[in-house]
Amino acid sequence: MQPVSLTAQWTAAIRAIESERPQDALFQDSLARHLAQPDGFSLLDRRRGGGVKEFVIIRTRYFDDASLAAVDGSAGIRQLVLIAAGMDARAYRLNWPQNTRIFELDHAPLLEEKARRLDAIQASPKAARVPVPVDLVLDWSQALLDAGFDRTQPTLWLVEGLLFFLTQEQVQTVLGTCRRLSAAHSRMVVDMISASLLRSPLSQSFLASLRRDHMPWQFGTDEPEAFLASLGWTVLDLKEPGMAGAGGSRWPYPLKPRNIPGIARSWLLTAELARK
């Protein structure tokens, strides 16, 4: 495995370009360019079109807003877990309440390289940041507990840019583990794609490029609310890019009504632990 995965670099490069817009940027990530090296920008050149860059930008802002709402709202969550944290810099760039702890789960080589880069520029997190080296397709629950995770406290789980790389069984395991470790009032923010996107003729060129880079997209669902409900999560908010609160006019494609079947879609969701 590369110390920094191609996906993590690619995502950081997109965030860097958005942060450097002369005006109207949806967020600011001053660390992204530093974290995108060495391959993030060349990957962007190879994967143009299809709205993927725009989706990552909109997704980043949606996750930012949903995270701050969870810690500022009535739930008052102070424990966050980033599943497949990659080169995410939220611990450094968002203003977190006092006593917030952010656990970052990913492969050990990536977390080590990320720490090296951030230490080199003397970056300081705005919350207690706890790296947790794990293999996400194995059972990572004990590693998280050993790192100081408190399963009696409500948690915000951030599952960003991961699920489409997994099989459905792996997705169910990851989200089921989050459910098993969650106390009452826990929340999850997650993105998914539709199964129709994986079948769409318009997606096949992009999907083929991912397969050539050994990063195939595998999982999608046309019924995200029902899928999450089957795993113990109740959807509080669902948006598609282009909706208010999900990029609005920054999304370059027209929205299609939900009742039209077979449309390639991307989902942005906030859910809470289902009440027993």
Q: Note the pLDDT tens digit of each residue in 48-85.
A: 666 889 999 999 999 999 999 999 876 789 999 999 99
Q: How far apart are CA 66 and CA 70, in angstroms?
A: 6
SS3 content of the chain, % helix, strand, coil (to 5): 40, 15, 45
Is 248 among the domain residues?
yes
Is 187 among the domain residues?
yes
Is 83 among the domain residues?
yes
Per the document, the length of the chain is: 276
* ∠ CA 50-53-57, rounded to 5°: 135
Is 3 among the domain residues?
no
For residue 93, pLDDT over 60 is answered with yes
Say how many C-beta atoms besides its own lie within 10 A of residue 200's C-beta.
16
Which residues fall within 8 angstroms of residue 179, CB to CB, at 6 or more apart?
Answer: 231, 232, 233, 273
Is 207 among the domain residues?
yes
Q: Supply φ then ψ for residue 144, to 5 degrees.
A: -65, -45
For residue 126, pLDDT over 50 is answered with yes
- Asked if 128 and 156 count as a contact pair (C-beta separation under 8 A), the reply is no
Torsion of CA 254, 55, 257, 205, to 10 degrees: 80
- Asked if 105 and 136 count as a contact pair (C-beta separation under 8 A), the reply is yes
pLDDT at 49: 63
Q: Quote the DSSP letter at residue 36.
A: S
Is 4 among the domain residues?
no
Structure tokens at 107: 């492969």
Handedness of CA 198, 271, 132, 43 (dihedral sign): positive
- Asked if 266 and 241 count as a contact pair (C-beta separation under 8 A), the reply is yes
Structure tokens at 58: 């909109």
pLDDT at 57: 97
Model confidence at 274, in pLDDT bands (50, 70, 90)?
confident
Model confidence at 206, in pLDDT bands (50, 70, 90)?
confident
CATH code, 167: 3.40.50.150
Average pLDDT, the chain: 93
Model confidence at 3, in pLDDT bands (50, 70, 90)?
very low
Q: Give CA 229 to chain center in angstroms.
A: 19
Is 228 among the domain residues?
yes
pLDDT at 74: 67
Report the number of distinct structural domains present in the chain.
1
Q: How far apart are CA 270 and CA 265, in angstroms?
A: 17
pLDDT at 1: 37
* Residue-number span of the structural domain to which 175 is assigned: 52-253+260-273
Q: How far apart are CA 157 and CA 155, in angstroms?
A: 6
In terms of Cα–Cα distance, which of 177, 198, 204, 14 is closest to 83?
Answer: 177
pLDDT in tens, 6-41: 889 999 999 999 999 999 999 999 999 999 988 888
pLDDT at 275: 80
Q: Can you give the pTM of this predicted structure?
A: 0.95
Is 114 among the domain residues?
yes
Q: State percent of the chain over pLDDT 90.
A: 83
Handedness of CA 226, 227, 231, 237 (dihedral sign): negative
Strand ranges (DSSP E) for the chain? 79-83, 101-106, 128-133, 156-159, 187-193, 233-239, 266-273
